[in-house]
Amino acid sequence: MIVIDGSYGEGGGQILRTAIALASITATDVRIFNIRSHRPQPGLKAQHMRSIDAAAKLCDAEVTGLYIGSQDITYSPMEIKGVTYTVDIGTAGSISLLLQCIMPMTVYSRGRISLEITGGTDVAWSPTIDYLNNVTCKALGQMGYNCKIEVLKRGYYPEGGGKVRASFEPAKLHGFEFEKKEEIIKGISHSSKLPEHIAQRQARAAKILLENRGIECDITVCIENELSTGSGITLWSEYSGASYLGKKSLPAEKVGEMAAAQMIRQLDSGTSVDPYLADQLITYMGLAGGGSFTTCKVSKHTLTNIHITEMLMGMEFDIQKKDEFTRISVK
């Protein structure tokens, strides 16, 4: 059994998700302690429990310590199998973060994995479902990954109620050298249970800011009437993305401008992937045994994923700081 200190690095849910995924793939028993020990509400929350439970169902794992507030769990996986089932996070917990935990496992499954997940599609402190679909999955496709994600309903904090259908095929990953490419920016501006002009103003403000910088863009407006109330916008171009969520008393124009400004900063950096994709790629590069990218910032999430991937996969990453960007590759 490998013992992992859950307070290492970013000390949150990321270390938990990566460790569970790689333990399942390598059929390694793990114990994770000090889970989220430095957070205002330490231990497991509902969305962490659902992620671990979903992973356990894929590989018939035995889990102890799986309850709200637990700071110490053990996880003993078996073979990853093809399954079809539904997952209800039960809150507006992030569907994207749950998928982050189980997506690496699907590469090594014995058959297709089909899931229908209910929770939050666009919530704070997590990748939006549009980012996961149009940035993460596109990048992973370059490494041989095979998945399809369909947004059935939007879900915002606090009601949730979003629904996503995802299917995955076993794959053989290979290394890929990510390089910066110029591409038209695409995006989705969306809202639910709000006046139609909210999503339209978000899109218009983002478009104006981008086009004033000479950047071509194509932003789709999506207006819905789902269980929860909210709005947001996600932009993407090749292996970079940006998003911003609507908030009470925050003008729709500001939401669009914040996402566009974030996108412009990433494009101006000249790097091949944004900092959020960087941390997600680490696990797959470790599994593929190769690959490289440049990024403008190495986050604690990225360093945490490197630490856990090296620990469980027995390999090393090379981090080279060069002026205003960093190149990360598999040694």
Binding positions are 100, 276-280
The whole-angstrom separation of Cα 313 and Cα 300 is 19
The whole-angstrom separation of Cα 267 and Cα 182 is 9
* Residues in binding site for ATP: 100, 276-280
- Residues 312 and 47 sit within 8 Å (Cβ to Cβ): no
Among residues 48, 190, 301, 307, which one is catalytic? Answer: 301
Give ∠ CA 87-90-92 in degrees, rounded to 5: 105
The whole-angstrom separation of Cα 182 and Cα 215 is 10
The yes-or-no answer on residue 301 being catalytic is yes
| φ/ψ (deg, to 5) at 89 | -65, -25
| Catalytic residue annotation | 301
